[in-house]
């Protein structure tokens, strides 16, 4: 049973174009709750739509992968599939791929 908050989060994520990524922080900011970044993470974790909602494009502010319900390995692969480079668990040239809402 999606809550209003969750719907907003997912809706925003759907706006992220292929080959781009965003952060929990920016996402929270986009829905007028700039300090709810952790809550955003919970919304993604409960996301019933996958991969309809590209939650794998959401990473931590420092460019690291962050978490992922289905395993970081999968998340990493999905991003590499979109031509995003990785160095261990960090995105190479993070700002270059960063999508600002």
Partner DNA sequence: GTCGTGACTAGCC
Partner DNA sequence: CGGCTAGCCACGA
Q: Does 38 bind DNA (CB under 7 A)?
A: yes
Note whether 11 binds DNA by CB under 7 A: no
For this structure, is 55 an active site residue? yes
86 is an interface residue for DNA by CB under 7 A:
no
Report whether 86 contacts 79 (CB < 8 A): yes
64 backbone dihedrals φ, ψ, rounded to 5°:
-80, 165
Nearer to DNA, 39 or 82 (CB): 39
On whether the CB atoms of residues 47 and 55 are closer than 8 A, the answer is yes
**Is residue 95 within 8 Å of 20, Cβ to Cβ?**
no
Instruction: Tell me: does residue 22 bind DNA (CB under 7 A).
Output: no
78 counts as binding DNA under rule CB under 7 A: no
CA-closest candidate to residue 7, choices 74, 50, 53: 53
CA distance 90 to 11: 25
The distance of closest approach from Cβ of residue 58 to DNA in the complex, given in angstroms and rounded to an integer, is 5
By beta-carbon proximity to DNA, the closer residue of 19 and 41 is 41
Which residues are known catalytic residues? Answer: 55
Which residues contribute to the site for DNA (CB under 7 A)?
A: 1, 3-6, 23-25, 33, 35-45, 47, 55-56, 58, 60-62, 66-69
């Amino acid at each position: 049973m999606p809550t209003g908050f969750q719907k907003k989060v997912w809706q925003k994520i759907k706006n992220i174009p292929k080959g781009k990524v965003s952060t929990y922080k920016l996402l929270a900011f986009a829905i007028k709750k700039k300090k709810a970044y952790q809550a955003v993470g919970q919304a993604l974790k409960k996301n019933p739509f996958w991969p309809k909602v590209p939650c794998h494009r959401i990473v931590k502010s420092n460019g690291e992968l962050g978490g992922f319900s289905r395993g970081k390995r999968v998340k990493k692969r999905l991003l590499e599939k979109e031509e995003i480079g990785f160095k261990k668990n960090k995105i190479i040239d993070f700002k270059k791929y960063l999508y600002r809402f």
